[in-house]
Amino acid sequence: MDNKQIVITRFGGPDVLAIQSSALPEPQAGEVLVKVAFAGVNPIDVKTRAGLGWAAAQNKDNLPWVPGYDISGSVVKVGEGVSALQPGANVAGFIGFPLRGGGYSQYVCVPQSELSVVPDAVTLEAAAVLPLAGQTAAQALSKAEVKEGERVLILAGAGGVGHLAVQIAIAAKAEVYTTCSEGNLDYLATLGAHAINYNFEPVSQRLQDVDVLIDLVGGDAALDALKCLSDDARVVTVPTLSAELICEKAKLLGFNATGMLVDPNPQQLDTMLYMVSVGLLKTEIQHVYPLTEAAQAHIQLESGHTRGKVLLDMQC
């Protein structure tokens, strides 16, 4: 049996994604071999493929490189000393972050410490939505110390991180406002947010007295959103490229502002899987592409207008 993987052979457009076959890897001590059902596609995969950002800088001498940090699937073999997971268990994880990657594989060896068990009530598709995006959402809201009753503005509520951030903030009983284009207004309203069409007019013309800004867009949209904030507001800006600029401007205006880098935390993923299993969190999937169409998946993500997540089906 061979193991098909999607590799980046060199940095460039979506066409540099290639399929490579190799022998099945053997789990080492503390690792399990996972048969990957679905791999999540994240903006960092696309940026790294294009040669942008720090993950590309770190891996430039390490090509071909297998991208992918989000997986769901089932355990097929366990290495020495593994007791928490058995063959047949359904698992999900935010794996190999930031350097190893490896999620765009049909089979991958993963330290058991990076994996969560997927409850029976959660599909493997839903589980693959959560790791990187869900933890970014939870960690951004936690950094901002969002409290019950606060007015929270989340830029890009319809995206991979945004649709989960909106729901987690609503579960924390915040009053949630979010920006999106016209086609996502109804979707975000059904999640319980006040949705604002950013194409109609800048959000600063529509909203005031915001306690917390969760910025998932960066650049000019974030700079405009600073005008919506009340005195002593908190800002968490998530896109790394413009974080320094946004924080500098926010601090000049007297706000408490910070960037962030998501930190893999399997216990946090356990909590989100539980929330999905009891219906507190709904995952949205725009499209599942077969692994042979990884380039199309990247093109979709690069459009900047994906609702929820894009996944790769690694077994077809």
Ligand X SMILES: NC(=O)c1ccc[n+]([C@@H]2O[C@H](COP(=O)([O-])OP(=O)(O)OC[C@H]3O[C@@H](n4cnc5c(N)ncnc54)[C@H](OP(=O)(O)O)[C@@H]3O)[C@@H](O)[C@H]2O)c1
Residue 104 contacts ligand X per CB under 6 A: no
Contacting ligand X (CB under 6 A), which of 45, 289, 307, 312? 307
CB of 230: closest distance to ligand X in angstroms?
21
Task: Give the rounded distance of the alpha carbon of 103 from its chain centre.
Answer: 13
**Alpha-carbon distance values, 27 to 80, 231, 257 (Å):** 8, 53, 42
Place of tokens 């060896």: 109
Interface segment toward ligand X; rule CB under 6 A; list 6-14, 55-63, 144-152, 157-165:
157-165
Element (H, E) at 250: helix 243-252
Residue 133 contacts ligand X per CB under 6 A: yes
Rounded to 10 degrees, the C-alpha dihedral 265/270/276/279 comes to: -120
Contacting ligand X (CB under 6 A), which of 27, 43, 93, 134? 43
Contacting ligand X (CB under 6 A), which of 110, 195, 221, 257? 221
Residue 166 contacts ligand X per CB under 6 A: no
Residue 188 contacts ligand X per CB under 6 A: no
> How many CB atoms lie under 10 A from the CB of residue 142?
14
Residue 304 contacts ligand X per CB under 6 A: yes
CB of 16: closest distance to ligand X in angstroms?
19
**Count of chain residues binding ligand X (CB under 6 A):** 31
Q: Of 33 and 276, which has the nearer Cβ to ligand X?
A: 276
CB of 29: closest distance to ligand X in angstroms?
30
Q: What pairs with residue 256 in β-bridges?
A: 234
Q: What is the contact mask toward ligand X in residues 259 to 278, using x (rule: CB under 6 A)?
A: -xxx----------------
CB of 101: closest distance to ligand X in angstroms?
14
Q: Is 33 helix (H, G, I), strand (E, B) or coil?
A: strand
Residues 6+ apart with CB under 8 A from 57: none
Residue 93 contacts ligand X per CB under 6 A: no
CB 125 within 8 A of CB 156: no
CB of 33: closest distance to ligand X in angstroms?
27
CB of 259: closest distance to ligand X in angstroms?
7
Interface segment toward ligand X; rule CB under 6 A; list 39-47, 76-84, 101-109, 245-253:
39-47
CB of 174: closest distance to ligand X in angstroms?
18
Place of tokens 């590799």: 7
Contacting ligand X (CB under 6 A), which of 93, 131, 159, 266? 159
Q: Of 290 and 304, which has the nearer Cβ to ligand X?
A: 304
Type of residue numbered 87: P
Element (H, E) at 177: strand 175-180
Type of residue numbered 101: G
**Alpha-carbon distance values, 230 to 210, 233, 237, 254, 255 (Å):** 5, 6, 17, 10, 9
CB 53 within 8 A of CB 44: yes
Type of residue numbered 221: A
Binding site for ligand X (CB under 6 A): 42-44, 133, 136, 155-156, 158-162, 179-181, 184, 198, 216-217, 221, 238-240, 260-262, 301, 304-307
